[in-house]
Structure 1
Amino acid sequence: MTKKVVTDLDVAGKKVLVRADFNVPMKDGEITNDNRIVQALPTIKYLIDNKAKVILFSHLGKVKTEEDKAKLSLKPVATRLAELLDQAVPFVAETRGQELEAAINSLQDGEVMMFENTRFEDIDGKKESKNDPELGKYWASLGDLFVNDAFGTAHRAHASNVGIASNLESAAGFLMDKEIKFIGGAVDNPARPFVAILGGAKVSDKIGVIENLLKKADKVIIGGGMAFTFAKAQGKEIGTSLLEVDKVDLAKELLERAGDKLILPVDARLATSFSNDAAAGVVSIDEIPADKQGLDIGPESEALFAKELQGAKTVVWNGPMGVFEFENFAQGTIGVCEAIAKLSDATTIIGGGDSAAAAMQLGFADDFTHISTGGGASLEYLEGKELPGVAAISDK
Structure 2
Amino acid sequence: MESILKINLEGKTVLLRADINSEVINGKVLMSERIRESSKTIKLLKNKRAKVVVISHQGRPGKKDFTSLKSHAELLNKLVKVKFVPDIYGKTAQKEIKNLKNGEAILLENVRFTKDEFKKGKTKFIKEISKLCDIYVNDAFSVLHRTQASIISFPKYMKSYAGPLLEKEVNALKKIHLKNCLYILGGAKSDDNILLLGKNKVLACGLFGPMCLVAIGKKLGKEEEFMKEKITDYKNSLKRLKIELKKTGKYVNLPIDFGVEMGGKRKNMILSKFPNKFEALDIGDGTQKKYINEIKKAKSIYMKGPAGYYLDKKFLDGTKNILKAISESRAFSLLSGGDLNNAIKMSGISEEKFGHVSLAGGAVIDYLAGKKLPGLEALGFYKTKKVR
* 1:255–1:58 CA distance, 2 compared to 1 (3 A): closer
Mapping of 1:317-336 within 5 angstroms?
A: 317-336=303-322
* 1:42–1:291 CA distance, 2 compared to 1 (3 A): closer
Question: How many Å separate the matches in 1 of 2:210 and 2:77?
Answer: 48
Alpha-carbon contact 1:193-1:311 (below 8 Å) kept: no
| Residue aligning to 1:196 | 183
* 1:249–1:63 CA distance, 2 compared to 1 (3 A): closer
Please give the per-residue CA displacement for 1:196-243, whole angstroms capped at 9, x wherever unaligned: 100123644421122xxx33x3x2111122222332455544233236
Please give the per-residue CA displacement for 1:116-160, whole angstroms capped at 9, x wherever unaligned: 221221xxxx22133463122332222011001112221211121
Mapping of 1:1-396 within 5 angstroms?
A: 3-7=1-5, 9-27=7-25, 31-63=29-61, 72-85=67-80, 88-121=81-114, 126-131=115-120, 133-134=122-123, 135-186=125-176, 189-190=177-178, 194-201=181-188, 203-210=190-197, 214-215=198-199, 217=200, 219-242=201-224, 251=241, 254-255=244-245, 257-258=247-248, 261-271=251-261, 281-343=267-329, 345-364=330-349, 366=351, 367-395=353-381
> How much has 1:62 moved relative to structure 2?
3.1
Q: Which amino acid aligns with 1:179?
A: E
> How much has 1:333 moved relative to structure 2?
1.4
Please give the per-residue CA displacement for 1:60-111, whole angstroms capped at 9, x wherever unaligned: 223459xx99x833233333323313xx422222112233222222222222
Alpha-carbon contact 1:352-1:378 (below 8 Å) kept: no
Q: SS of the counterpart of 2:267?
A: strand
* Larger displacement relative to structure 2 (21-30 or 99-108): 21-30
Gaps of 5+ in 1: none
Q: SS of the counterpart of 1:83?
A: coil
Q: Number of matched residues?
A: 372
Question: How many Å separate the matches in 2 of 1:202 and 1:35?
Answer: 21
* Larger displacement relative to structure 2 (301-310 or 99-108): 99-108
Question: How many Å separate the matches in 2 of 1:39 and 1:271?
Answer: 38
Q: SS of the counterpart of 2:188?
A: coil
Q: SS of the counterpart of 1:7?
A: coil
Question: How many Å separate the matches in 2 of 1:180 and 1:6?
Answer: 14
Question: How many Å separate the matches in 1 of 2:283 and 2:303?
Answer: 15
Question: How many Å separate the matches in 2 of 1:42 and 1:297?
Answer: 37
Please give the per-residue CA displacement for 1:308-360, whole angstroms capped at 9, x wherever unaligned: 101433211012212223333222112211211222x3321112243233223
Question: How many Å separate the matches in 2 of 1:372 and 1:389?
Answer: 17
> How much has 1:289 moved relative to structure 2?
4.0
Alpha-carbon contact 2:33-2:359 (below 8 Å) kept: no
Alpha-carbon contact 1:154-1:377 (below 8 Å) kept: yes
Alpha-carbon contact 1:318-1:355 (below 8 Å) kept: yes
* 1:245–1:63 CA distance, 2 compared to 1 (3 A): closer
| Residue aligning to 2:230 | none
* 1:268–1:180 CA distance, 2 compared to 1 (3 A): same
| Residue aligning to 2:231 | none
Q: What is the TM-score with the length of structure 1 in the denominator?
A: 0.83
Aligned alpha-carbon RMSD (Å): 2.9
> How much has 1:17 moved relative to structure 2?
0.3
Alpha-carbon contact 1:318-1:353 (below 8 Å) kept: no
* Larger displacement relative to structure 2 (297-306 or 286-295): 286-295
* 1:257–1:120 CA distance, 2 compared to 1 (3 A): closer
Q: Which amino acid aligns with 2:311?
A: E
Q: SS of the counterpart of 1:360?
A: helix
> How much has 1:302 moved relative to structure 2?
0.7
> How much has 1:253 moved relative to structure 2?
5.5
Alpha-carbon contact 2:94-2:129 (below 8 Å) kept: no
Question: How many Å separate the matches in 1 of 2:92 and 2:279?
Answer: 58
> How much has 1:250 moved relative to structure 2?
5.5
Please give the per-residue CA displacement for 1:282-306, whole angstroms capped at 9, x wherever unaligned: 2222332444332221011111111
Q: What is the TM-score with the length of structure 2 in the denominator?
A: 0.84
Q: SS of the counterpart of 1:241?
A: helix
Alpha-carbon contact 1:29-1:76 (below 8 Å) kept: no
Alpha-carbon contact 1:351-1:379 (below 8 Å) kept: no
Gaps of 5+ in 2: 228-233
